[in-house]
A and B are shown apart, each in its own frame.
Chain A
């Protein structure tokens, strides 16, 4: 019988790329190819209207999605108002609004 010492092994913080499911990412990249061009400059986050009032960070969501860290993203993405300001400032010309819409769609089908 296992002895309860009052503490447990914490889950690892390491992102293990060997166990990640990149299928959702690939689906998204197929629908919005410009998504791949992101250089993580943060201009989208800087200009985002939702960011002013909540902890919402669209660039970070993109990074998490790109590294297949999908947990909680669906709920986060609900904060986006699809205003499109991010698309206007992106230096890499990424079509962010459709990217966000399709992230939502893909995550809800998950």
Chain B
């Protein structure tokens, strides 16, 4: 039986492991944390259908019960070396693990909003990230900086994405619809709050996204302002003052808000960056680069090493799972096992 090593137990790594193991490959799945799916379990409900993140995590975790999958937790892989037809995965403790092929599924990490100092994350209490808000939604506790129910909540798109100053010119793809999703959740929790979304462009590319945007306007009374917030500052009463331009009117705008939610983008995880660098398969922005934009999108430039999911570029869970399926098929074809 051929041995495949999969790095990263996120949706991509789990899905591909499951397909490969179901087709008579022996899979070892390495995960650096003490449990899988950390980037799913930090969310409450998922776009586009508000389904529960925990339920999805349970369904994905159940796939790991498949025979032929061995999950190795607390194991961080830092390098891969080719030795003839064999691949040696090197972990942080410098031990090596052998495989016939390797799939990199080391995923993403959320942009560190401290880096956009002008928005005051970590300085003003009223400034939070989308991930912080996700936690508040999960615990059903949405409070402002002084522990009161917020009367105005403002979202800002494209924090750390589409921003040359952060070094990230790309679009993170998930934050536009996440802001709309979260705004609706906030509306359900706080029927009387004013809710604003400041955007540069609204990218409603997926099935059902545009409809969610319409609903947000009509049914949930979310206000959309086209302009990028240039900076935030604190007020004496614990609020956050923001400055922007209403670009459609062509006039500067300022307002106070109880909470400013920064829609932080996606960056390659540390694991993605390290492996990309050590194996010389990292590309722009340190995501792993694939061979082709259309076909061969699961092949890296190193033979026998494959890539799936957000280790490659920002994508949604559905796209990640589809990509993982396609990576598994590619590995099966290349290693000569029949589907």
Is A36 an interface position by the 8 A CB rule?
no
Is B63 an interface position by the 8 A CB rule?
no
A89 and B247 within 8 A (CB): no
B230 and A89 within 8 A (CB): yes
Is B74 an interface position by the 8 A CB rule?
no
User: How close is A33's CB to chain B, nearest CB, in angstroms?
Assistant: 14
* Chain A positions within 8 Å of B245 at CB level: 42-43, 45-46, 57, 59
B230 and A47 within 8 A (CB): yes
A91 and B228 within 8 A (CB): yes
B229 and A46 within 8 A (CB): yes
* Chain B positions within 8 Å of A92 at CB level: 164
* Chain B positions within 8 Å of A48 at CB level: 252
User: How close is A49's CB to chain B, nearest CB, in angstroms?
Assistant: 11
Whether A93 contacts B243 in the complex (CB less than 8 A), given A42-B228, A57-B251, comes out as no
B164 and A41 within 8 A (CB): no
A–B Cβ pairs within 8 angstroms, 6 of them? A41-B247, A43-B228, A46-B253, A57-B250, A89-B231, A92-B164
Whether A46 contacts B250 in the complex (CB less than 8 A), given A91-B162, A91-B164, A92-B164, comes out as no
Is B211 an interface position by the 8 A CB rule?
no
For B227-247 the 0/1 string (1 means CB < 8 A from A) is 111110000000000011111
Is A27 an interface position by the 8 A CB rule?
no
Among B165, B200, B226, B247, the one with the most A-chain Cβ atoms within 10 Å of its Cβ is B247
**Cβ-neighbour of B164 out of A40, A45, A57, A93 (below 8 A):** A93
* Chain A positions within 8 Å of B229 at CB level: 43, 46
Within 245-278 of B, Cβ neighbours of A (below 8 Å) are at 245-247, 250-253
**Cβ-neighbour of B227 out of A41, A51, A90 (below 8 A):** A41
Q: How many residues of chain A get a CB closer than 8 Å to chain B's CBs?
A: 20
Q: Give me the 10 closest cross-chain CB pairs, A-B, nearest first.
A: A42-B245, A93-B164, A46-B230, A41-B228, A47-B230, A42-B247, A45-B245, A42-B227, A43-B230, A43-B228
A5 and B25 CA atoms in complex are apart in Å by 91
* Chain A positions within 8 Å of B42 at CB level: none
Identity of the chain B residue whose Cβ is nearest the Cβ of A37 in the assembled complex: B164
B165 and A60 within 8 A (CB): no
A57 and B200 within 8 A (CB): no
* Chain B positions within 8 Å of A47 at CB level: 230-231, 243
Is B215 an interface position by the 8 A CB rule?
no
Give the total number of A-B pairs whose CB atoms are below 8 A apart: 64
A94 and B163 CA atoms in complex are apart in Å by 11
* Chain A positions within 8 Å of B243 at CB level: 46-47
A45 and B165 within 8 A (CB): no
Identity of the chain B residue whose Cβ is nearest the Cβ of A60 in the assembled complex: B250
Is A39 an interface position by the 8 A CB rule?
yes
Whether A46 contacts B228 in the complex (CB less than 8 A), given A41-B200, A60-B250, comes out as yes
Is B55 an interface position by the 8 A CB rule?
no
* Chain B positions within 8 Å of A44 at CB level: 230
A59 and B247 CA atoms in complex are apart in Å by 8
Identity of the chain B residue whose Cβ is nearest the Cβ of A39 in the assembled complex: B200
User: How close is B138's CB to chain A, nearest CB, in angstroms?
Assistant: 31
A40 and B231 CA atoms in complex are apart in Å by 17
A91 and B252 within 8 A (CB): no
**Cβ-neighbour of B244 out of A39, A46, A60, A93 (below 8 A):** A46
Within 124-179 of B, Cβ neighbours of A (below 8 Å) are at 158, 162-165
* Chain B positions within 8 Å of A39 at CB level: 200-201
Is B118 an interface position by the 8 A CB rule?
yes
Within 86-109 of A, Cβ neighbours of B (below 8 Å) are at 89-93
For A42-74 the 0/1 string (1 means CB < 8 A from B) is 111111100110000101100000000000000
* Chain A positions within 8 Å of B246 at CB level: 42
